[in-house]
């Protein structure tokens, strides 16, 4: 290969790599935006649930009702903030929060981690329940047949089970 052919192929590979990088970046942003919208919708649903619970609170306890109403307003504001701000703005704001209030940031991160773990655990249970529903009662019978068929002397050597 000559030097000019070598540099042409190198610049072509760089161009393709740059195009791929740009496409991946755009795809990532689209995925984050759709996740952000879904999170905002779920947070808005939580705000509505808090607001509905606030309406059902005993009128003889106005302090609790007022607190719940403010909480619903703040949660609703968070949902609106997620919908309206760009990812870059949110990143900058979270970073500023971490610099200004590191303790609050760590506490919020821990709370978010716990909430995310609970969500994933609940989702796993729901998936397990759906899977068991799909299999039905025949699954136990099929499992027993499979176990009997697989537990042959060949499986465990001369002694068997």
pLDDT, tens digit, 9 for 90 and up, residues 118-159: 877 877 766 666 666 655 555 556 656 655 555 555 544 555
Asked whether the predicted pLDDT for residue 61 surpasses 60, the reply is yes
For residue 160, the model assigns a pLDDT of: 46
In this prediction, residue 64 carries a pLDDT of 82
User: Which pLDDT score is estimated for 112?
Assistant: 82
Closest C-alpha to 122, from 49, 42, 50, 51: 42
> Does 71 score more than 70 pLDDT?
yes
Cα gap 95→20, rounded to integer Å:
29
Secondary structure tally for the chain: helices H, strands E: 6, 0
Segment 41-49 shows an average pLDDT of 88
Residue extents of the structural domains in the chain: 1-100, 101-161
Q: What is the pLDDT of residue 100?
A: 94
Give the rounded percent of residues in the chain with a pLDDT score beyond 90.
4
pTM of the model: 0.52
Nearest CA to 56 among 45, 44, 47, 68?
68
């Amino acid at each position: 290969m000559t030097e000019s052919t070598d540099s042409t192929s190198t610049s072509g590979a760089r161009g393709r790599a740059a195009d791929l990088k740009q496409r991946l970046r755009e795809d990532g942003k689209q995925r984050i935006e759709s996740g952000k919208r879904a999170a905002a919708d779920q947070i808005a649903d939580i705000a509505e649930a808090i607001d509905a619970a606030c309406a059902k609170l005993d009128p003889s306890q106005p302090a609790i009702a007022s607190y719940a109403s403010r909480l619903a307003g703040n949660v609703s504001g968070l949902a609106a903030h997620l919908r309206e701000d760009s990812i870059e703005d949110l990143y900058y704001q979270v970073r500023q929060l971490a610099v200004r209030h590191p303790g609050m940031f760590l506490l919020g991160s821990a709370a978010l981690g716990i909430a995310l773990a609970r969500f994933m655990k609940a989702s796993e249970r729901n998936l397990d329940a759906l899977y068991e529903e799909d299999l039905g009662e025949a699954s136990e019978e099929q499992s027993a047949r499979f176990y009997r068929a697989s537990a042959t002397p060949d499986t465990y050597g001369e002694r068997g089970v």
